[in-house]
Structure 1
Amino acid sequence: MNEVDTRLTNGAVPVSGGAAVSWQAVWSTYLPALILALGTGIALPAIPTLAKSFDVSFGVASGVVTAFLIGNLAATIPSGWLIDRFGRRSVMIGGPLLTAVTALLVVFSHTFPQLIVLRFFNGFAAQMWVMGRLASISQDATTAQRGRLVSWMFGMDNTGKLAGPVLGGFIASEWGTSAPFVAYAVLALLALLTASLGARNGVRKSTTGKEAPAPRVRRTMSLREIILPRLVYFGVTFFAGLTRGPVQADLLHLYAAFEYHLGPAQIGYLATGAALLSWPIGFIAGWMMDRFGRKRTMVPGFVGVAFSMTALAVSAFAQLSLHWYVVLFFIGVGLQALTGGSVQTVGADVAPPQARGTFLGLWRFTGQGGASLSPIIFALLADQVNYGSSFLFTAGAAAAVAFLLIRHVPETRDAG
């Protein structure tokens, strides 16, 4: 059993005064996540209208979405380096501050390239805050708390994005297209306030509740030392990214539009139903990971995703009715929600104390790289082969995650 396996099995992690349900967790994690996601959701309805106002084609206008995703991906490794170099508090504060600045500058953008650049830095800023919080949870939380802290943080993110678009549409219709971005900036500053109050830069606490000096560890690790002992975990996050990518990119809605000729209203009902279904499951998954262990939650989830995607492939090959698709769609979305925050929790579990930020940067880059690559593969298979092969590709990625977890990843245990 290697160093990483021993740390997972024995639960040899620092004990924090901040439990998964506490005022510290609310102020430092849940509330900022909710506020930032609410701001993102408020700005969402105005983005297509703003892009269209520059009189560009649909393909060019889609750059406002792509630029955000690229910025999100580009920030992973630099944010990790910044955490190791300057501390996670500076990154958690810098993320919302940069978000507020870019949101305000969007109001004054006069050209489409300016908007693209600002959207890139908006995505960069969003990743900075997430990276800082993951590093904080990795260091300060026990194994028995991390599942809930990570999953519930992303659950707050989903809550804000569910409520934000309706509010954003109202704001834009009443005060103009630029108004949602002003609201976004104000909310980012509010999140900055709550995050700065709750953020700490690395103070550890002993089991007695008193501050304890950080253990003496090497300040740097080579990439070889960071990656090789944890290579299987990078495989888990990569294949998990391949699994969730098509769902996150809404390609299943695109499939429904082409295959079943669904209109915007019908797809809207599916999207809203999926969001409402996923919301409570994400919170339940966090509790399950801490109560029963990571593998006991993740393996059934990814095996279920593999079977549901295979069933969707069968429905595509057999050209089954819309009713079958809707049932299988909701089953697949629910199982995806069960696995949502689990991979990030595992990353927080195995992050090395000597290079926590760098590891999490590489970890997030690998997972999001898979999530960015899979929609391209899914679309190519659908176009060049058939829809069924696209679903089988997603099923294979989910099965690969389950295999790696079963064969190579130990169950997480807490010492207490």
Structure 2
Amino acid sequence: MTTQRAAPPFSLRGIAVPAFGPGLLFSLGEGAILPVVALTARDLGASVAAAALIVTLIGLGSWFFNLPASLITLKFGEKWSIAGAAAAGALALTAAGLSPLVPDGVWLLAAAMVVVGMAASVFSLARQKYLTEAVPVRYRARALSTLGGVSRIGIFLGPFIGAGVMQLAGISGAYWVGVAAMLAAAAIALTIQELAPADTAGSHSGPAPTLRSVGSSHAGVFLTVGFGILLLSALRASRQVVIPLWADHLGMDATQASLIYGLSGAVDMLVFYPAGKLMDRKGRLWVALPATVIMGIALMLIPLTSGFLGLTLVAMLVGFGNGISSGLVMTLGADFSPEHGRGQFLGLWRFIADAGATGGPVLLSGVTALASLGMGVRATGLLGFAAAAVFAVTIPRLRHRRNY
């Protein structure tokens, strides 16, 4: 009589390179080019407003392509969608790097940024769907928090590597760093093991899910927990604008503002894994509530600061709140996503999150224009308390809807 050997226990380390390597490299490529896109546009003759718009095209391309991204991922699978998106991003950055060499290169640069955003949308959705299905539920939050964490590490390191290469190759050097990083991400993605299709013919009967049918059948989740996600995303995006603006308001120079922002980002990167572990062991609410309340309080404190030390301490508190929320949006999306129609659900989920990320800075700008920067920052802080209230009510109430 022969006995079967028990399967080895699951370990995140065992899938670390294929699961997290592409995300780290893709984000590093994005981080390398983000500081120089506006400068490139200005060198090509764009006005300040047009240069700012070209930077915004990355986010807009990602936001509006979330729904098509879900269909692409379903058609080609996670592995090829991740690899293809990284390759498309590398091609777009090649075009951006060559834009100073062509007539009216500003239009080529703008088109390249749209494609980068579209590629990021496919890349992010495919890797989220892959980890949702490849990782056991008891490790889900840790996996997705780590995914969010390595992306932040890439964004943090990218500008430093780009700056080093620019010393040798000029401003276009940042784009070549991005190209190399995204091509490496595509190469590593090809080592990802294909997942067995979740929806086999014998496991589900009925019509194939569509964006409309999934949106309709899960409208309750999108209108409740999804609203909390929208508020959280708006809060996160606003904090990136608030810190440098308040530093400028206090009369600090660019070096001081960058140092404060960097220290906030450093704290952000240190806490993502413990937060994921807490979510797996205690539940999502144990992170959702403290993260949103801490960021809300910290942003409300920013207008009370009057110097470098005060703003640095508050910015680090903002970074801590944001850091413990790493992966929260993806984890909740995975929790509530149906097994049949998961790709469509995640596309809609990411569309909502990106809408919040776009709307947060708009709210800050609008209140600042009508009142003052201090009032705009306080209004942004209120988003944290609103998100906490939504999560406190909706996550426990809809607990039975999770697929674990």
The answer to whether the 8 A contact 2:244-2:258 is kept is no
Alpha-carbon shift at residue 156 of structure 1 (Å): 1.0
Indicate how the Cα distance of structure 1 residues 304 and 108 shifts in structure 2: closer, same or farther if over 3 A, else same: closer
From 5, 11, 19, the counterpart of 1:29: 19
Indicate how the Cα distance of structure 1 residues 214 and 345 shifts in structure 2: closer, same or farther if over 3 A, else same: farther
| AA matched with 1:220 | P
The answer to whether the 8 A contact 1:84-1:356 is kept is no
From 52, 56, 59, the counterpart of 1:62: 52
Deviation track 1:121-141 (CA, whole Å, cap 9, x = no partner) reads 011101211100111122232
How do 1:2-401 residues align onto structure 2 when only pairs under 5 Å count? Answer: 19=10, 21-24=12-15, 26-109=16-99, 110=102, 111-203=105-197, 215-218=203-206, 219-221=208-210, 222=213, 223-248=215-240, 250-258=241-249, 260-313=250-303, 315=304, 320=306, 322-401=308-387
The answer to whether the 8 A contact 1:100-1:184 is kept is yes
The answer to whether the 8 A contact 1:46-1:168 is kept is no
Alpha-carbon shift at residue 18 of structure 1 (Å): 8.9
The answer to whether the 8 A contact 1:38-1:160 is kept is yes
The answer to whether the 8 A contact 1:89-1:196 is kept is yes
Indicate how the Cα distance of structure 1 residues 271 and 325 shifts in structure 2: closer, same or farther if over 3 A, else same: closer
Alpha-carbon shift at residue 369 of structure 1 (Å): 0.6
* Identity score, percent: 20
Unaligned segments of structure 2, at least 5 residues: 1-6
Indicate how the Cα distance of structure 1 residues 101 and 39 shifts in structure 2: closer, same or farther if over 3 A, else same: same
Partner SS, residue 218 of structure 2: helix
The answer to whether the 8 A contact 1:305-1:398 is kept is yes
1:5 matched to which residue of 2? none
The answer to whether the 8 A contact 2:243-2:261 is kept is no
Matches of 2:356 and 2:8 in 1, distance apart?
A: 35
Larger relative contact order, structure 1 or 2 (CA cutoff 8 Å, min sep 6): 1
Indicate how the Cα distance of structure 1 residues 164 and 309 shifts in structure 2: closer, same or farther if over 3 A, else same: closer
Alpha-carbon shift at residue 237 of structure 1 (Å): 1.0
1:13 matched to which residue of 2? none
Indicate how the Cα distance of structure 1 residues 261 and 374 shifts in structure 2: closer, same or farther if over 3 A, else same: same
Matches of 1:143 and 1:384 in 2, distance apart?
A: 47
Matches of 1:154 and 1:17 in 2, distance apart?
A: 26
Matches of 1:255 and 1:114 in 2, distance apart?
A: 34
- Answer with 34-43 or 94-103: which moved more: 34-43
Indicate how the Cα distance of structure 1 residues 45 and 307 shifts in structure 2: closer, same or farther if over 3 A, else same: closer
Unaligned segments of structure 1, at least 5 residues: 1-15, 205-211
Alpha-carbon shift at residue 148 of structure 1 (Å): 1.3
| AA matched with 1:257 | D
Matches of 1:179 and 1:337 in 2, distance apart?
A: 30
Matches of 2:52 and 2:339 in 1, distance apart?
A: 40
Matches of 2:66 and 2:403 in 1, distance apart?
A: 31
Alpha-carbon shift at residue 169 of structure 1 (Å): 1.3
| AA matched with 1:252 | I
| AA matched with 1:256 | A
| AA matched with 1:33 | G
Matches of 2:363 and 2:229 in 1, distance apart?
A: 17
Deviation track 1:165-218 (CA, whole Å, cap 9, x = no partner) reads 1221121220233233233222212111111211524456xxxxxxx9973254
Alpha-carbon shift at residue 20 of structure 1 (Å): 5.5
Matches of 2:143 and 2:94 in 1, distance apart?
A: 31
Partner SS, residue 191 of structure 2: helix
What is the TM-score with the length of structure 1 in the denominator? Answer: 0.85
Matches of 2:376 and 2:193 in 1, distance apart?
A: 43
- Answer with 391-400 or 356-365: which moved more: 391-400
The answer to whether the 8 A contact 1:46-1:180 is kept is yes
Matches of 2:403 and 2:337 in 1, distance apart?
A: 18
Indicate how the Cα distance of structure 1 residues 69 and 230 shifts in structure 2: closer, same or farther if over 3 A, else same: closer
The answer to whether the 8 A contact 2:32-2:161 is kept is yes
Matches of 1:76 and 1:415 in 2, distance apart?
A: 23
The answer to whether the 8 A contact 2:39-2:51 is kept is no
Alpha-carbon shift at residue 412 of structure 1 (Å): 6.5
Indicate how the Cα distance of structure 1 residues 105 and 310 shifts in structure 2: closer, same or farther if over 3 A, else same: closer
Matches of 2:236 and 2:35 in 1, distance apart?
A: 24
